Chain A
């Protein structure tokens, strides 16, 4: 039976009817489909047994779904709006002046070498943010700010994520969030406000990353947190 395509079966054959039983059980057949199914059920014991199994599945999976309800995060919709804003709502002035900025930015992000580990002295973060926002629309490359930072570069081997903080987030908020996930800012902000954060290297990097994403996404000061996928990494 499974080898015969359903469309080659006579519509009121046992095989064709049996194929419809899951949807007779969930109550979604049309009246035209329902009538022959019910006629067949009246005289076919095997199909009645089959229907019983389908109904068991409807009930069991329905029960399962009731237990495992899913609800969006309380700020789920706000995040969506923030993303929409980023995509279309709030053009960065530089973009309109220099249409190729985004492409250059993308290339820059893709080409960022094992980045500088910034010790999070808050003042220098603010300064660096300013520097980058000023510097990026031009043609300066990461090597410039690596020089500026003057900090040696240990290899970043831990998992990395991208974070966009809410406009209202203060430096103190950012610092305490980073402490909570044991993360360090290694690059950013880009002209779009994206920071790259690295987590400690270790065996459980996948769980670490998931936990950090969970923590960040639950905070109002974080507009976006996502994993740096392999393709993003140089």
Chain B
């Protein structure tokens, strides 16, 4: 969280920004203005994560809305002793996202490169679903937009479980105990999931000629 201290947006016209705890307490008392402040503070970040999780922009609005509605309805159940509001909200968003995926009929929890045969992957390539392999070695393009496109493609091939851990750690820069709380598993499971997720990511990137980007070490 070091990269993301208290959100910088301040409420127009008010001198002191209210803390998350003050706002969530007010929301529990059905204060709509407080809800608006939390919405402005967190909806963009939650939407960004859900966009990565769901991969379908048209589903994000609804999942963000569901998350903020749940915040309104269960604000009195937030326990500051159990963790930060951000973690709690991301946990709700994660669940709403999975629910949205199921509703959209696109939920394949166990989909992974292990269960996709090489034929399926090759077929996907034949249908133009993958970007072109980078013409240069990773040295030239590691941080360039070419990797950006290829990385996005690779991330989209991961299972929801693996993609969420990668996005929460590298995209949202959250600690592993926070991620454990968000996705609802023990902290050590987050570490193992990360290991496997990175290994799969590395395999996918290697297929496109990026050999040294994401690999989890293999013993």
Which of A's residues lie within 8 Å of B, judged by CB?
1-2, 5-7, 15, 18-20, 22-23, 25-29, 46, 50, 53-54, 56-65, 67-73, 76-77, 79-81, 83-84, 87, 210, 213-214, 217, 226, 229
Contact = CB atoms under 8 A, between A and B. Distances in A.
B175 A23 contact: yes
- The list of the 5 closest CB pairs from A to B, nearest first, reads A28-B175, A70-B47, A61-B170, A70-B48, A1-B219
A15 B170 CA distance: 20
The secondary structure that dominates the B interface is: helix
Contacts of B32: 81, 84
A165 B151 CA distance: 41
Size range of the interface on B?
A: 35 or more
A46 B212 CA distance: 13
Contacts of A210: 58
Contact of A80 (B51, B68, B217): B68
Contact of A83 (B47, B69, B170): B69
A69 B169 contact: no
B170 A22 contact: yes
Interface stretch (B8-16, B59-67, B75-83, B119-127): B59-67
The secondary structure that dominates the A interface is: helix
Given A6-B192, A76-B65, A83-B65, A58 B170 contact: yes
B196 interface: yes
B158 to A, nearest CB: 12
Contacts of B143: 56, 59-60, 63
B116 interface: no
B65 A71 contact: no
23 contacts: A2-B192, A2-B195, A5-B188, A6-B188, A6-B191, A19-B191, A23-B176, A25-B170, A26-B3, A27-B3, A28-B178, A46-B217, A50-B216, A56-B143, A57-B166, A60-B143, A61-B151, A61-B170, A67-B148, A69-B48, A71-B44, A76-B39, A80-B68
Contacts of A7: 188
